[in-house]
């Protein structure tokens, strides 16, 4: 195994914390991985990794070597993209994680277009709202809705989604239609649990340019967007979400928007990827494609 392949292997072991996961990620036999690390440590004359039955972690020398390897590999990939054929036709596997409803509504219906443009790329797509450790899990980029809190990632804004507050027509017929934010105090909500801390997210309203947050009572709380809409359709209370997810129900009259003059601010949608992968041609073309696709959202 040449030095660059050994360096790439070593960085994946550190990032994934496992010889086995790194071997699977790079499609190599476990024995080859173990031997390559032994040879690398012998050549450098130092122990790079601490091994336990549960996890593999970098030693102090190993962490320093990892940081240098990461920069060198990024420089190598940048150099390769300078050639037109490499930049125009990137190849290899790309691991992405997409927020579920965004994927189903905007991305997956047109995913064939991406493969038509870049037939050399293989996509491995995960879907959900959970926090993803991109480096440790070997994920190249994620598509997420909402305000961002992880400043260690490179973030690119791809859309701003109009939001609405709504309820089923039957719910409003039974409980009345609120005509002010204060009138919400007597209403029930379907609460949505934050994927970060598991707490119900407050409803937000934009009043005279300022955001007002309001926590509403409710008999049910969910952590899935489809369940959120289903509970609203079951007449259990008000919900607040991007309009695209309930557009058909609003257009049919099954759902009714309330408090339209005080809609919450549009929800941002962003692509995030690790700092040291921002030069990857595979990540670059996928992010550019997502910008194009999500540019039609609103």
Q: pLDDT value at position 55?
A: 81
Q: Report the CATH number that the domain containing residue 15 is assigned in CATH.
A: 1.10.10.10
How much is the average pLDDT of 206-219?
Answer: 94
- Same domain? For 35 and 173 the reply is no
**Whether 210 contacts 236, CB under 8 Å:** no
Considering only residues 102 and 132, tell me which one the structure prediction assigns the higher pLDDT.
102
- Same domain? For 99 and 174 the reply is no
Return d(Cα 163, Cα 245) in angstroms, integer.
Answer: 10
**Whether 172 contacts 256, CB under 8 Å:** yes
**Whether 2 contacts 8, CB under 8 Å:** no
Please identify, among 39, 63, 81, the residue that sits at the C-terminal boundary of a domain: 81
Q: What is the pLDDT of residues 141-162, one digit of tens each?
A: 889 888 876 667 788 899 999 9
The β-bridge partners of 240 are 165
- Same domain? For 175 and 253 the reply is yes
Q: What is the pLDDT of residues 273-291, one digit of tens each?
A: 877 644 578 888 999 999 9
- Same domain? For 29 and 10 the reply is yes
Q: pLDDT value at position 170?
A: 97
Range of the domain at 65: 3-81
């Amino acid at each position: 195994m040449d030095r660059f392949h050994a360096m790439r292997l070593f960085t994946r072991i550190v990032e994934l914390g496992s010889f086995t996961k790194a071997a699977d990620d790079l499609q190599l036999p476990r024995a080859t991985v173990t031997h390559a690390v032994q040879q690398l440590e012998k050549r450098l004359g130092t122990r790079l990794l601490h091994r336990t039955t549960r996890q593999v972690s970098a030693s102090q020398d190993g962490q320093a070597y990892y940081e240098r390897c990461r920069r060198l590999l990024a420089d190598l990939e940048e150099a390769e993209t300078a050639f037109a054929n490499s930049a125009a036709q990137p190849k290899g596997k790309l691991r992405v994680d997409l927020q579920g409803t965004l994927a189903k509504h905007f991305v997956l219906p047109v995913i064939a277009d991406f493969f038509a443009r870049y037939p050399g790329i293989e996509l491995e797509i995960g879907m959900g709202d959970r926090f993803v450790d991109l480096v440790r899990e070997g994920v190249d980029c994620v598509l997420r809705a909402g305000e961002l809190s992880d400043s260690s990632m490179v973030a690119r804004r791809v859309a701003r989604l109009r939001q609405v507050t709504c309820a089923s027509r039957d719910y409003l017929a039974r409980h009345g239609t609120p005509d002010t934010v204060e009138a919400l105090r007597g209403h029930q909500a379907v609460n949505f649990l934050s994927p970060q801390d598991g707490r119900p997210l407050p409803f937000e309203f934009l009043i005279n340019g300022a955001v007002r947050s309001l926590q509403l009572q409710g008999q049910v709380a969910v952590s899935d967007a489809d369940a959120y809409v289903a509970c609203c359709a079951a007449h259990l209370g008000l919900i607040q979400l991007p309009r695209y997810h309930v557009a058909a129900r609003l257009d049919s009259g099954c759902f009714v928007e309330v408090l339209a003059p005080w809609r919450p601010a549009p929800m941002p949608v962003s692509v995030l990827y690790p700092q040291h992968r921002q030069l990857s041609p595979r990540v670059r073309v996928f992010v550019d494609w997502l910008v194009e696709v999500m540019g039609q959202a609103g």
